[in-house]
A = this chain, B = another copy of it.
């Protein structure tokens, strides 16, 4: 199918495609879903199914021991609120169930395209100097929280990656359909022997491959075994 269509081209509808390849529609649909998981096709809101460009490598965790919001951070702060987080976030932060935490919403854009949305949870004890700042919400408040966070000494961080599906709000932010596959990266930042912040970031699985490593600058080529077969 890749040889018949070019990148960005909109595919004919399922019925026409099934006829073209001489397969049943159920078989065709399964093949399309598989190609979407592999990042070769994209289903886009109001556009249809198109042939996907190669995935973009997105560095995750290469900048070890750097707080969110530090000088070379690639995320754009969008908002900040003070609210009681979901119970599992409170648990991961080892904070009380009813303790409000600062919730910073940020987004990440690569090559002009939204690739990820993040919620960063920061307990109040991680940013004790914050009360002096006036902005109650919005990007200014988000920047203030991130700035205050830098005052702690970061002792370690750890991440987990798993598959998820885009919620309605995220989907809109990521320019995807709800339910689209995303890679969920959870990162816990440790300072003063405790969890000082927790990030839950959602990356578009169709356009992103997440890169980790200690030899920054070397590019691992895309999905070698799979592309070749």
Contacts and interface: CB of A to CB of B under 8 A. Distances in A.
Interface string A193-229: 0000010100001101111111110101111111111
A214 B156 contact: yes
Interface stretch (A34-42, A69-77, A129-137): A34-42
A219 to B, nearest CB: 9
A229 B175 CA distance: 21
Contacts of A187: 220
Contacts of A86: 224-225, 227-229
A33 interface: yes
Contact of A158 (B156, B186, B211, B223): B211
Contacts of A6: none
Given A37-B179, A179-B34, A225 B119 contact: yes
Interface string A17-56: 0000000000000100110011100000000000000010
Interface class of chain A by DSSP: mixed
A33 B178 CA distance: 11
A150 interface: no
A103 B222 CA distance: 19
A87 B225 CA distance: 9
Interface of A: 30, 33-34, 37-39, 55, 57, 61, 64, 85-89, 91-92, 119, 155-165, 167, 179, 181, 183-184, 186-188, 190, 198, 200, 205-206, 208-216, 218, 220-229
29 contacts: A33-B165, A37-B165, A37-B179, A38-B163, A39-B162, A39-B164, A57-B160, A85-B224, A86-B224, A86-B229, A88-B225, A89-B224, A89-B225, A158-B212, A158-B216, A159-B211, A159-B212, A160-B209, A160-B210, A161-B211, A162-B208, A162-B210, A163-B206, A164-B223, A167-B229, A181-B181, A184-B223, A186-B223, A200-B223
